[in-house]
Amino acid sequence: MVIAIIGTLVALLLPAVQSAREAARRGACVNNSHNLALAVLNFEAANGFMPMGTHRRASGVPPPPWQTNQISWIARVLPYLEQMSLYDQIDFEIEPGDKPVGPDGPNPNVVLMGAPLDIVRCPSDAGTERLEGWITDGGHSIGDYAPTNYVACMGDNDDAWLYTGMFGINSDTRIGQITDGTSNSMMLSECKIADPFIKYYGNGLYFKCRTGTARDIPTDTYQVEPRGFSWFYAQVNQAWNYNTFLTPNDPLVTNHECQMWSEKTSFAARSRHPGGVNVALGDGSVRFVVDEVDYDTWQYLGAIQDGEPVGEY
């Protein structure tokens, strides 16, 4: 009888304990988001512009633009995250940023890109589904990189060259350019490491994939680097950004999201937090946005110059 009562009490208490733990994890995630946003703002204050999402050389200047250093916005704000010693070791001239050998010999970035950073990891996401056997374009195993749960907003379009948000390829956004207001514009949100799968499609199927109508090709076909695989190396969008074509944790493409080339992609903000995602705004504040957010509102939050009133969310 006593054992039965104890068992009942444990069953009643367990959800409360799990809820309290998730609240603590979500609080830590909010703190990470806030500190990353402040790092971006401090970078902007020091340089006059925000860090670029990633770097590509102008097209037509050899080598081709997809073989430039491709080092992420996170790496560029390390001095404002109390990581100056790590930042000082990065060689921003190596092309690409994770190439094993640079102009002066072995590339120090190959070691640095595997350095784990607590501030870019949400404690609610263990990242247990990382596929260590995958190989990136740089020739490295996915296990050579340290992942991230925090990605930058490129706006309400799907081409990182034509970004409408704060971040894009070679972006240099200034606070004064955020005419919708910093408190009405998203800077950062979350992604789930290696979830969902990223599928590479050609032009026709990519647009079907974006609306959830493409055929579901096998998971072992056309695999590319998984979501959030590296805080350092940003050759592909899944390492560094999201857009607002899909609302948070969108159920339409639960099995996979879509990529065409290395700059055109459709990735949702996603998290392990029940019901929504943490979002850092351009003023450094952090909001929890629910999965059921109005689609137009989500679109307006992504763009920085659309002139649309955001409203309640």
Domain containing 49: what range?
A: 2-302
pLDDT of res. 9: 45
pLDDT surpasses 70 at 1? no
**What is the rounded average pLDDT of the residues 109-136?**
82
pLDDT category of residue 82 using cuts at 50, 70 and 90: very high
Strands 256-260, 197-200: pairing is parallel
Confirm whether 53 is domain-assigned. yes
Confirm whether 313 is domain-assigned. no
The predicted-structure confidence for 32-69, as pLDDT tens digits, reads as follows 999 999 999 999 999 999 999 999 988 777 778 888 89
Confirm whether 308 is domain-assigned. no
Q: Give CB contacts under 8 A, 24+ apart, made by 171-179.
A: 171/50, 171/52, 171/53, 172/49, 172/50, 172/52, 173/49, 173/50, 173/304, 174/44, 174/48, 174/49, 174/50, 175/44, 175/282, 177/304, 177/305, 178/282, 178/304, 178/305, 179/304, 179/305, 179/307
Largest CA distance in the chain: 79
Confirm whether 165 is domain-assigned. yes
Confirm whether 217 is domain-assigned. yes
pLDDT of res. 130: 60
pLDDT surpasses 70 at 255? no
Least reliable range by pLDDT among 110-119, 121-130, 191-200: 121-130
The predicted-structure confidence for 261-299, as pLDDT tens digits, reads as follows 888 898 999 999 999 999 999 999 999 999 999 999 999
Confirm whether 310 is domain-assigned. no
- Omega into 64 within 30° of 0, i.e. cis? no
Number of domains in the chain: 1
Number of CB atoms found within 10 A of residue 195's CB: 20
pLDDT of res. 10: 45
pTM of the model: 0.89
pLDDT surpasses 80 at 156? yes
| Mean pLDDT of the residues in the chain | 87
Alpha-carbon distance of 244 to 124, in angstroms, equals 23
pLDDT category of residue 221 using cuts at 50, 70 and 90: very low
Confirm whether 311 is domain-assigned. no
Secondary structure of residue 281 in the 3-state scheme: strand
pLDDT of res. 215: 60
